[in-house]
Amino acid sequence: MARVVIMGGGVSGHTAATFAKKWLGKKHEVVVVTPNSQWNWIPSNIWVGVGEMKKEEVVFPLAPVYKKAKIDYRQALALSIHPEGKADSDTPYITIQYTEEGRVGETEEITYDYLINATGPKLNFDATPGLGNGEGQMGSNTVSVCTADHAEHANHELKEIFEKAKEGKKQKILVGTGHGLCTCQGAAFEYIFNIEHEAKKAGVRDNIDIKWISNESFLGDFGMGGLHMKVGGYVVSSKLFAESLFAERDIPWLIGAHVSKVEEGKAHYELLDGTTGVEEFDFAMLIPPFSGVGLKAYNKNGEDITNTIFAANGFMKVDAKYDAGAYENWKASDWPRTYQNPNHKNIFAVGIAFAPPHLISKPASSVNGTPINPTPPRTGMPAGIIGKAVAHSVCDMIKQGDEAHLHEASMAEMGAACVASAGKGLTTGTAAAMTVYPVVPDFETYPGTGRDTDYTFGEVGLAGHWIKHILHHMFIYKAKLYPGWTLIPE
């Protein structure tokens, strides 16, 4: 019997665990270690953040699902990896610390034959002074929609702003990225338009100024260097599309911005052109930058080998080309295909947990030398596809031996679809549905643009909103492993 341990139960980890168990059956053991007791469909958090959904609608308890699937579920935080075992044993293991009620703080070693790192990101609020509380958590100056709890809190704060606006008090809302190296612009993009939509519905839009702040060098970059959109029958760039959306809703923007410090009611920023400024706000939702979760790695002798397994940003090294050098040398082939750790063939990293070889967008720094560019998105559809591919590889290795052919899911050969909400409502909702192929531009295959323009497109409208709503129910259905769940694509 082989044991597969999956650290993390988000989109990629849950996908990997559930498919691995389905393919391996009773003969082998699948263990999931995640500090969370609930699974969260993160794309719908923005609706919780404006009160259009309750937290309970975007989360569900993991324990009954894993019990049904016969997956060994440990509600615990993974602390360290010991790929060579320890002095008296060659069996690799990880150490975990329980977060489950009644076992909080209890530690345990779990041995593994295969390890999948799907820990996702650490929300690195403290990278920006004042954005965090100095202890790794969100501070009190801003809100976030990165987790369901954060989103619930954001909605509570937002409603207070709406109440003040109803009393005739002018309010200022700032939404965007809280650091020059953030990813996930899409979540902030959706949130700002949902706030605007709700403010209109509440009849308080006239008393609320809303502003966008982002580290993108142009609106519509989305961390992918932009894409095409089909709007009203015409093909337009995501730049024009985004600019139009903001202009039509009377939302001014600040781009190429690194938020350097946050104080109560104030965000200090530096722009790519080197200028600095302060943006005042009554309510701010600023996405934090991501980093690795801080896992440590030790060799057989107990010596720290974290640097050989993880990149400097804390994400795990996989089969990517990390020494590609200057921007001009970057290639699509630099991106990982199998997500296997180069030093330990039984360790994989999926979703946000793998270290990307470099950015997708053009790298940029301000004239003062501050890096200001979106980091590569690795969430959503790619995370699910990668999780499934790695589960397939691990299952094949268990059944056929370590020389089994590994399954590949390169983001440079993978298309992705994304639906970005711009307001919720059965008849008044709006969303932009986009597809991009490939996710990582391939400048050798598609000179100039890096993408296949026949497969990179989008459309905005009510149908997009319905699609997003349908996807919400579909993916929660799939994650709950209801009948036919394997038929629903990632």
Kindly identify the residues of this chain, within the stretch 396-435, that bind another protein according to CB under 8 A: 433, 435
Q: Which residues pair with 81 in a beta bridge?
A: 94, 297
CB of 443 vs another protein, minimal distance in Å:
7
Nearest to 34 by CA among 311, 382, 293: 293
Does 365 help bind another protein (rule: CB under 8 A)? Answer: yes
Does 43 help bind another protein (rule: CB under 8 A)? Answer: no
Kindly identify the residues of this chain, within the stretch 439-478, that bind another protein according to CB under 8 A: 441, 443, 447-451, 453-454, 457-459, 461-464, 466-467
Does 236 help bind another protein (rule: CB under 8 A)? Answer: yes
Q: Which one of residues 208, 271, 355, 479 is an interface residue with another protein (CB under 8 A)? A: 271
CB of 175 vs another protein, minimal distance in Å:
18
Size of the site for another protein (CB under 8 A): 50
Residue closer to another protein, measured from CB, 247 or 488: 247
94: exposed, middle or buried (Cβ count in 10 Å: 0-12, 13-18, 19+): buried
**DSSP code, position 127:** G
Crossing angle of helices 185-201 and 148-166, rounded to 10°: 30
Alpha helices in 326-422 (DSSP H): 380-400
The radius of gyration of the chain from alpha carbons, rounded to an integer in Å, stands at 22
Rounded CA-CA distance 396/392 in Å is 6
Q: Which of these ranges, 65-73, 88-96, 273-281, 299-307, lies near another protein under the rule CB under 8 A?
A: 273-281
Other CB atoms within a 10 A radius of the CB of residue 221 amount to 24
Kindly identify the residues of this chain, within the stretch 165-204, that bind another protein according to CB under 8 A: none
Nearest to 424 by CA among 462, 459, 460: 462
Residue closer to another protein, measured from CB, 400 or 428: 428
Do the bridges between strand 122-123 and strand 347-349 make them parallel or antiparallel, or are there none, so unpaired? unpaired
Q: Which one of residues 25, 102, 168, 232 is an interface residue with another protein (CB under 8 A)? A: 232
Kindly identify the residues of this chain, within the stretch 328-347, that bind another protein according to CB under 8 A: 328, 330
> What is the layout of strands, in order, in the sheet containing 276-280?
257-263, 266-271, 276-280
| Residue that is written with structure tokens 């049904």 in the block | 68
Residue closer to another protein, measured from CB, 232 or 401: 232
Does 324 help bind another protein (rule: CB under 8 A)? Answer: no
Q: Residue numbers of the site for another protein (CB under 8 A)?
A: 217-218, 225-228, 230, 232-237, 239-240, 254-256, 271-275, 327-328, 330, 362, 364-365, 367, 433, 435, 441, 443, 447-451, 453-454, 457-459, 461-464, 466-467
